[in-house]
Amino acid sequence: MRHIDVIYAELREEQKKLDMIPLWDREALLRQSQRVDELIVEYQRALLETQSRELHKAEWEVRPVSLDEARVVVENHHYARGAANTAVATHGLFRRNEWFGARCYGVAWWIPPTREAGGAVWCNPDEVLALSRLVLVPEAPRNAATFLLMRSVRMLDQRWRCLLTYADTWRGHTGHIYRAAGWEYLGLTQPKAIFTVDGRLTAIKAGPRTRTHAEMHAMGAKLVGRFPKHRFRYVRAG
């Protein structure tokens, strides 16, 4: 079986060719559609095989990634479909020794939490950093999330004594990745309203102020419901 990255790259190219064929050329459309369908089947088989494999640490590494590259992964593969405009750190999961044009298989996105959120888990809110997004592409191997998470933690500046993250109950998440990595479970937060716009998670906070429900609806936001989150923290050695 060919490597999944080779199949993926070929599939994208063949899909581009299909998009460029004029609608009146039915014979070419049929021929190219068949080629794309064949690659989709091959890709799905390779994907199942890849996902069944354990991650071998010697073959993978986590390194800094640009905000733009991290955003592409988040927008394409995270259920929120977006992230903050800034970050303290963004780290990506890559195959070891692949650099120019290397594919990013996952992203850890770190931002400062609100002072209220930071103060709820640590004595000094200025020493708290929050994991805002942790996401993998479908082709990432098993155990990749824990590997990416803890390698990313090691790369953070030591000024961040306490790390904070959440697992969204509205998505059915329980935070098993954080539990497996040794994070401390702090229970559920108070339920808060969850809004989406065209399927993209939309924050009710706008800088220092909180939008009203009327303002959210005026933006075209849909109220999904009110849900708590599982809260976790990781205290780093001093």
Give the DSSP per-residue string, 35-96.
HHHHHHHHHHHHHHHHHTSBP-GGGEEEEE--HHHHHHHHHHHSTT----S--SEEEEEEET
Mean local confidence (pLDDT), 22-46: 85
Residues of the chain above pLDDT 90, percent: 47
Higher pLDDT, 233 or 223: 233
Of 15-24, 52-61, 128-137, 138-147, the least confident: 52-61
Q: What is residue 148's predicted lDDT score, i.e. its pLDDT?
A: 96
Confidence of residue 23 (pLDDT cuts 50, 70, 90): confident
CATH of domain 57-185+231-235: 3.40.630.30
Higher pLDDT, 198 or 77: 77
Q: What is residue 50's predicted lDDT score, i.e. its pLDDT?
A: 66
pLDDT exceeds 90 at position 199: no
Cα 42 to its chain centre, rounded Å, is: 25
Are 166 and 231 within 8 A, CB to CB? Answer: yes
Q: What is residue 121's predicted lDDT score, i.e. its pLDDT?
A: 96
Confidence of residue 203 (pLDDT cuts 50, 70, 90): confident
Are 228 and 191 within 8 A, CB to CB? Answer: yes
Are 93 and 104 within 8 A, CB to CB? Answer: yes
Mean local confidence (pLDDT), 12-39: 87
Confidence of residue 190 (pLDDT cuts 50, 70, 90): very high
Q: Tell me the three state secondary structure of residue 24.
A: coil
Strand partners, 62: 93
- H helix and E strand count, the chain: 7, 12
Q: What is residue 56's predicted lDDT score, i.e. its pLDDT?
A: 84
Span 48-63, pLDDT tens digits: 776 657 778 888 999 9
Strand pairing of 162-168 and 128-136? Answer: parallel
Q: What is residue 200's predicted lDDT score, i.e. its pLDDT?
A: 80
Confidence of residue 70 (pLDDT cuts 50, 70, 90): very high
Q: What is residue 115's predicted lDDT score, i.e. its pLDDT?
A: 92
Q: What is the mean pLDDT of the chain?
A: 89
